[in-house]
Structure 1
Amino acid sequence: MRGVPHGLICGLLLVLTSCGSDGQRDDQGRQLPPAPMGVTAVAGSATSVHVMWNLASGDPAATQYVVYRDGTKVKEVPAAEHMVDITRLEPSTTYTFTVRALDADGAPGLPSEQVSATTPAAVAADDQAPTSPGRANGRTVGSGSVQLSWQKSTDDRGVASYDIYQGDSKIHSVGGGLTATVVTGLRAGTSYSFTVKARDAADNVSPPSSAVRLTTAAGSDDGKGTAPTDFRATTHLGDDGAYYLDLSWTPPPVDGVITEYQILLDAKVTTSLVWGTTAPSGKATYSFYVGRDAGVKHRVRIRAMLPDGTWGGYSAEATVTTGAKK
């Protein structure tokens, strides 16, 4: 598989079929878990930060995650979870976080990229909680995810974050400037109840929003709600006399960062690509070699690895012919 020069590909993203990286091995040659991708950190209050990452995919499977703050281990999280609140922090302070996956023997894999978050300033004598988020709504997105939205809360000192609850359990936090999120990793044909609470810098928490009750679709579906959108495919003739397929798409809206995609060319998996640096949150592009013959018709689709470790739905299929006039 060829596209842009090999060194450039591996610097920007890891193409699993061409870069040849098989992860980290220990002194005995054992394969260790890959580094968690898509790590984000958002201040939840003056004394807490919400850290989130994508469930690591690869062999061996992760059995646990360890979160580090400024190089010191602060939390251990079960393998089925990919987010945690780090508390007891200092106000107006910048912290750096990394995450590592552990294998069944407790051996750590490579650390994730470092991410930083700065807690807001402490607010003296603030005992007034934000108002309850208003007009909470939601819709199912197929059998495994839902999209939630709400009207912003008000607070005399400002809202620092919103906490999302599934029943009585907090499942996520988003920044105070957001009023929508997508929750993935749900069971098909299952009823859920979600609420939203606002939090200020002093850790005062609002009453919950009205409950949003949703039932995911039964059975499997085509995952349209988790598929990349605005998918386009064109071809061009390279300087080497070969034809290349040029793809562009918009990542699906999910709770977290999408770092891995899989390309289906002519009904066969052609390659998986993983961003090794910052993954695009807006329009994404990728170009790869498809051959030297003109007049060859290709069908192509793409899908994303969701932050919960499951594959999303395939995009709409695009059809292109090498050498065809635009």
Structure 2
Amino acid sequence: MRGRSAPPSLLRHLALCGLLALAASCGRAGAEEGDGRSVPGAPTGVTAAAGSATSVHVMWNTTARAAAYEVYRGTTKVQDVPGSKHMVDVTRLRPSTLYVFSVRARDSDGRLGPPSGPVRARTPAAVADDRSAPTRPAAPEGRAAGSRAARLSWSASTDDRDVVSYDIHQGATKIHSVGGERTATLLTGLRPGRDYTFTVRARDAAGNVSPASPTVRLTTPGMDDGRATAPTGFRATSRREDGAYHVGLSWVPPRVDGEVTAYEIHLDGRPATSLVYGGSAPRDRATYSFYVGRKAGVTHRVRVRAMLPDGTWGGFSAERTVTTGAGR
């Protein structure tokens, strides 16, 4: 039995719909392939501690490919922070209240990564008409903890009410904060072979701040040439899949204290993509593959570096060249 032909108007309509669908599909594929970069990973090491009855200090580790950070109280964004910083004081809070905070990294194209795990902090009760600052923290001591960190301790301050937090300053800049029950902390993100000066100030629930402690001076050991923190055994190959070329990488993670969970890949001298492990990261050999285009015979330079557990970048691996279609 022969079927009837579709009317010409219907055929034209179907053809037009097919062309529009094809164009939309090509546009999406081009956007995905032309980018080839992943969004920043979820910030790690997020902490929150009350700084006063109306403020909470939130800190996190530096995140690969982050041009800025967004800090959330519950589901509400409350702060934008430049990518060069990884801490903020969230103010105008209510006393005696439990708050939940999280942080998201945003790249230079405005793309948001996933949120960090939530952290909680409770503000203390307000104290009426408290104008008395805590006493100056005494007997501060500091020592280098490896080439990229330092341990700092001090004697507790006293207050007519309670000490809520201690602020640590590097020069004139506040770089860290801990709860008032603590008299020691680990400062990370330092550089080898550098001289540092730190002071400590105590803060009460009313926001009164003590005079600065005596200055602690220390020097981190080593030289910052990056070799001790660079991935080794770096290899790069090319493969073709679905009409496009991909670069396959492998390397041995740097041997450092703590787990390395994030890497940045540079292509032809510029950041191209990042890799963040959500679970356990490999310790023996890591692998990664990413799109580089559809044209054969194109030679690229590629290298990789790790985000260290203290939130700083390690040294670059050796640079390799790879040519699309050459298989190596």
Shorter chain as denominator, the TM-score bin is: 0.5 to 0.7
Shift of 1:218: 4.0
Q: CA deviation at 1:68?
A: 1.1
Q: Is the helix fraction higher in 1 or 2?
A: 2
Q: How far does residue 310 in structure 1 lie from its aligned partner after superposition?
A: 4.4
Opposite residue 42 of structure 2, the aligned amino acid is: A
The question of whether the paired residues in 2 share the 8 Å contact of 1:55 and 1:309 is answered with yes
Look up the match of 2:11: none
Q: Residue 128 of structure 1 is aligned with which of 129, 132, 141?
A: 132
Whichever residue aligns with residue 152 of structure 2, its letter is L
Structure 1 position 169, deviation (Å): 0.6
Structure 1 residue aligned with 2:60: 53
Change (3 A) 1:151 1:222: farther
Greater shift in the superposed pair: 37-46 or 213-222: 213-222
Please list the CA deviations of residues 42-93 of structure 1 after superposition, one character each: whole Å capped at 9, or x if unmatched: 1111011011112224xxx111111111222111112232111111111111
Q: Percent identity?
A: 54
Q: Distance in 2 between matches of 1:221 and 1:179?
A: 33
Distance across 2 between alignment mates of 1:85 and 1:223: 36
What amino acid is the match of 1:182? L
Matches within 5 A, 1:85-234: 85-220=89-224
- Please state whether the residue corresponding to 2:89 is helix, strand or coil: strand
Q: Are the equivalent residues in 2 in contact too, given 1:37–1:259 (CA < 8 A)?
A: no
SS in structure 2 of the partner of residue 165 of structure 1? strand
Report 1 or 2 for greater relative contact order, CA contacts < 8 Å, sequence distance ≥ 6: 1
Q: Distance between the aligned counterparts of 1:201 and 1:217, measured in 2? A: 38
Return closer, same or farther for 1:141/1:156 CA change in 2, 3 Å cut-off: same
Displacement of 1:311 in angstroms is 6.2
Instruction: Please name the residue that 2:19 is paired with.
Output: none
CA contact (8 A) 1:161 1:175 kept: yes
The runs of 5 or more residues in structure 1 that have no matched partner are 1-26, 225-250, 253-257, 263-271, 280-285, 289-302, 313-326
Tell me the residue number matched to 1:233: none
The one-character-per-residue Cα deviations of 1:134-191 (angstroms, maximum 9, x if unpaired) are 1001112233222111001011111100000000111010001111111122233222
Q: 2:41, 2:276 within 8 Å by CA — same for their partners in 1?
A: no
Q: Which runs of 4+ in 1 moved over 4 A?
A: 27-30, 220-224, 258-262, 272-276
Q: What is the aligned partner in structure 2 of residue 244 from structure 1?
A: none
Q: Distance in 1 between matches of 2:191 and 2:128?
A: 44
Tell me which amino acid in the other structure corresponds to 2:60: W
| 1:85-115 deviations in Å (ceiling 9; x for gaps) | 1111111111111111111111111111122
Kindly provide the amino acid, as one letter, of the partner of residue 157 in structure 1. Answer: R
Contact residue 191 and residue 224 of structure 2 kept, 8 A: no
Give the 3-state SS of the residue equivalent to 2:40 in structure 1: coil
**1:72-87 counterparts in 2 under 5 A?**
72-87=76-91
Residue 304 of structure 1 deviates from its aligned partner by 9.9
Distance 1:203 1:223 in 2: 44
Pair 1:35 & 2:69 matched: no
Code of the aligned partner of 2:311: D
For 2:164 and 2:259, locate their aligned partners in 1 and report how far apart those are by CA, in whole Å: 27
Unaligned runs of 5+ in 2: 1-29, 229-255, 263-274, 285-305, 316-328
1:196 counterpart SS class? strand
Larger gyration radius, structure 1 or structure 2: 2
CA contact (8 A) 2:151 2:187 kept: yes
TM-score (norm 2): 0.60
CA contact (8 A) 1:70 1:95 kept: yes
CA contact (8 A) 2:148 2:310 kept: no
Task: Write the deviation string for residues 300-323 of structure 1: whole angstroms up to 9, x where unpaired.
Answer: xxx9942424469xxxxxxxxxxx
Contact 1:82 1:308 in 2 (8 A): no
Amino acid at match of 2:101: F
1:260, CA displacement in angstroms?
Answer: 5.0
Residues 170 and 117 of structure 1: is their aligned pair in 2 closer, same or farther, counting only changes over 3 Å?
same
C-alpha contact (below 8 Å) 1:143/1:221 kept by paired residues: no
Give TM-score scaled by structure 1 length: 0.60
Match of 2:232 in 1: none
